Structures are given as C-alpha cells and as structure tokens.
Structure 1
C-alpha cells in the first residue's frame, strides 16, 4: 500500500488547515487505493512523524511526502531533511520519496498565474 502525506507548516487558527484538508480529499478521490493524510511542522497535529506512523501501522510500504510550501525556505532546507532522515532510520523497510516545494512546479505556477489573471478586474 502507498501513502501520501501532505506536509504543511501549521497555524494557530484551525480554519487555516481547511484548504489542505480539501486537497487531501481531492487527492484521495484521484488515488483511491492510497492513504492520504495531512501533517504539520508545528502548531497543529498530527506531526509528520505521527502521520507517517499511522500510515505505516495501516500497512503503507511506501510513503511520498509532499511539502506544501511555496518556496524552499529555511524549513524545507534545514528542518525537513532532518525529519525525513529520522523517518528513514525509524522505518528502514519503508520506501520514502519527497516532492519539491510547490513553487518549483511550472505546471502549478502556470495554473496560479492563470487564476490570478482571470481574477483581475477588466
């Protein structure tokens, strides 16, 4: 079984997580055989370690982690690799992949630009 963890920063306001939960729902619809969950770096739960543990306990043998950060700032450059190294050490029989920051996808940037331009007045 495969897992997908959508990894976001986290915030104090629980409403902040609504778009990420919706994204998880959409991914689940598009990949019905996959476990899809959302995890947070701080301020919210579950943590990345907790989300991966739940997926492994449910039978995931391969987990892809998608950091939902627009750019590769400090958290992705410093914190994220450490978290992933710990997960790989804790679960040596699980395959792990990571996706790049959202802003590194030309497809996503083009979609955002199209939405922005379509939203402009006039």
Structure 2
C-alpha cells in the first residue's frame, strides 16, 4: 500500500475555499487513482488534520505523506503544521508521518498564476497594461518578498508597463497603492493576478479594492484550478518518497 497523500490547507470561513481544495484533489486523484488522497485543514474548515490522520490509520495505512498546500515557508508551515503533526504523531503510534515541502516557490505556481491571467484576457505584449500580483501578506518578510520576486520576473519577461506585488493584509503596498505605482509607470489598463490558491474573503477584498480604483480591470482567478497545481502536489509527494529511497540506498 502506497503512503496516503494528506494535503493540508489552511482553511477559511468562506466555503468556496474548501470546495476549491477538494476540486484540486479530485484532479490529483484522477492523475493518480492508485493513491489514497485526502484533504485536511489547519483551522476554520473541516476535516481537521488530526481527524484525517486518525482515519488514515484506521483504514490500514501505516504511512502518510503530508503535503502542505501553502505557498511559502511562513508561520503556518514553520510552526502551526509541525505542532499539529507532532500532536497527531503522539496520539497515533504506528502511523509514520513525513512532510513534503510547501508548494512555493516553484515555476509551476508562476505558470498557474499566469495561466489564470491569460484566461481573463491578459496579453503579455500589451505595453499599456499594468499587472498587480496580489498575495495574502505576512508578518514574515521573506514570504512577501517571494511574491515581489515573482512580479519582478513577470515585469522582466513581458512588455507590460509594469508588474507590482500587492498584499491583502499585513504588508505594503496594498492594491490601491500598487495600482497608483503602475499608473505612474504609464499603465492605462490594469489587470490583477492572484498569488492565492483558492477564493475567499481576502480575494474578495482584493477584487473590491481593484474595482474601486480600476473599474475595468481584468481580474484573474486563484491558482488551484490550474492543472499545474495538481502536478505540483504530486511532485512534492514524489520528492518525499525519492528522498527516502536515496536514504535507504545510502545506508
């Protein structure tokens, strides 16, 4: 029996978020019907991580690979998830838990975000277009820097007037400030892409702010529906198994 794949998302009060995670994992299952793939959430949504892992063991698994559906190594990845897994491991003797890397940074995520912008009508060669890449925002500065670096790469690769990161909370610039910067660079049209996996209250906040300052803005969708994200989830799972095989070979 292959190790179960337990994909752990943060969770949200907005039910669209959990629905999107479940839809993403349906794609993962279609790609790997031999795997037992389960969704779990750290907070605000059900089922919670501990309950899912208990069910995994009850169903006969002796090993699970936890794949964090997180875009960077901030507080949830470094503190929340390890604490939850440590507690679950203490309660579930006989179930070996291994944790994959977070999803980002990775070129597949950038491709997913760009794909959603293209679906919204964004032209990579439009010199009068300014692109806002909206992230959650974090007190962990490297997480914000990751989003800014993606926007910088986009600006270097496209003929847009500019591309600027913006944040829904906890960091600067916010969406109105990012739009103002792009207009200073000559942007006459605005597009908004998302460095979010799923829709929720914060993505709504981004859209409302964008519409208030650029009513005709092209709005992309969050990334999870792109097929490349399902591919990335499976890549993270395989990386854990590959590390184990290399370690066994070295021994």
TM-score by length of 1: 0.85
**1: distance between equivalents of 2:66 and 2:10?**
13
What is residue 108 of structure 2 aligned with on the other side?
108
Structure of higher RCO (CA pairs closer than 8 Å, 6+ residues apart): 1
Name structure 1 gaps, 5 residues minimum. none
**RMSD, aligned α-carbons:** 1.9
Tell me the residue number matched to 1:83: 84
- 2:154 — aligned with what? none
Alpha-carbon distance change, 73 to 27 in structure 1, aligned in 2, over 3 angstroms: same
Give CA deviations for 1:26-85 in whole Å, capped at 9, x if unaligned: 121222222111111111111000111111111111101111111111111111111111
Larger Rg over CA atoms: 2
Report how many aligned residue pairs link the two structures: 121
Q: Distance in 2 between matches of 1:94 and 1:40?
A: 19
Paired residue for 1:28?
Answer: 29
Equivalent residue number for residue 7 of structure 1: 8
Structure 2: any 5+ residue segments left out of the alignment?
A: 127-251
